[in-house]
Structure 1
Amino acid sequence: MKSGEIRDDCAYGLTSVTKERATAENLLGIARGHWEIENRNHHVRDTTFHEDLSQIRTENGPHMMATLRGLAMSIMRLTGVKNIAKAARNFAASAWVTLRQFGL
């Protein structure tokens, strides 16, 4: 904290990990693994693609758009893109940049 005050926080969780395997190191790895998924997937969907603001709400539209966003993220990662937000802006600005990225 900025004030220099020290405080303790406690978090509870449920797991199916056995008591023998529920070491602090293993539980920390599980928690970090969860946040890695959050940061690699959901955070990108929320900040780059603004998925939470989507107004597509009927029939298969939401599922289809989520699938297309996931496909776009996967293609970018498979082609070596590190910054998906920057790449998405570049791709949106130029079809030629997009085609070149895919070797076309």
Structure 2
Amino acid sequence: MPKSADVPKSAPDMTFSASVVEKGHGRIETRRLSVSRECVAYLGWPGAAQICRIERIRETKGRISREIAYAVTSLTPEQADPDALLALWRDHWLIKNRLHWRRDVILREDDSRIRTGASPQALAAMRNAMLHLVKDAPGPLRAIREAFAENRLRAIKAAQSGLL
């Protein structure tokens, strides 16, 4: 753990390093990545090489939102310059979204209040089964979920038969 004398007196110098602007899905998103090596020693994390700060600015239907996030990476500047780090950050979220978007958004898994015992794992298994059953079903997943939520007997019969 660093001593208080080692604590930086001000925020690390995070100079603007890389930027990308994307347009699509009715929005404009600007991402700016800044990188610093100043606080790496202070962190005391084995293998830490750079600290990254990403600012995301989204404009959707005239509304602007701004978000700032931080990360620590073991990649040195020689292994990944700011442009490469920005691409890696974006790819991370693309992978996460591909894997979890249906669970998080359509099935509202993140809204679950069940946190103890085996219940979270059991519900995750049920969601996986549901996703498997409807993977080839016609129509949007949200509409299927809502229809089954309104008619549970229909959902049970569909699960038993393997047909939707």
TM-score normalised by the shorter chain: which range applies? 0.5 to 0.7
Choose 35-44 or 56-65, whichever is displaced more: 35-44
Q: Distance in 1 between matches of 2:109 and 2:99?
A: 11
Once residues 143 and 130 of structure 2 are traced to their aligned partners in structure 1, the CA distance between those partners, rounded to angstroms, is 13
Percent sequence identity is 29
State the aligned residue count.
92
1:1-104 residue pairs with structure 2 within 5 A? 10=34, 11=53, 12-73=70-131, 75=132, 79=136, 83-89=140-146, 92=148, 99-100=162-163
RMSD over aligned Cα, in angstroms? 3.6
| TM, length-normalised to structure 2 | 0.39
Structure 1 residue 61, shift from structure 2 partner = 0.6
Residues 107 and 127 in structure 2, CA contact (< 8 A), matched pair in contact too: yes
TM-score by length of 1: 0.54
Structure 2: unaligned runs, 5 residues or longer? 1-31, 35-52, 54-69
Do 1:45 and 1:51's aligned partners in 2 also have CA atoms closer than 8 Å?
yes
Deviation digits for residues 33-77 of structure 1, max 9, x if unmatched? 22113322444323211223324344201122123324544x369
Higher share of residues assigned strand:
2
> Residues of 2 paired with 1:66 and 1:38: CA distance?
17
- Residue ranges of structure 1 left out of the alignment (5+ in a row): 1-7
SS of equivalent residue, structure 1 residue 22:
coil
Higher helix share: 1
Q: Contact 1:49 / 1:69 at 8 angstroms: preserved in 2?
A: yes
Report the 3-state secondary structure (helix = DSSP H, G, I; strand = E; otherwise coil) of the residue aligned with 1:13. strand
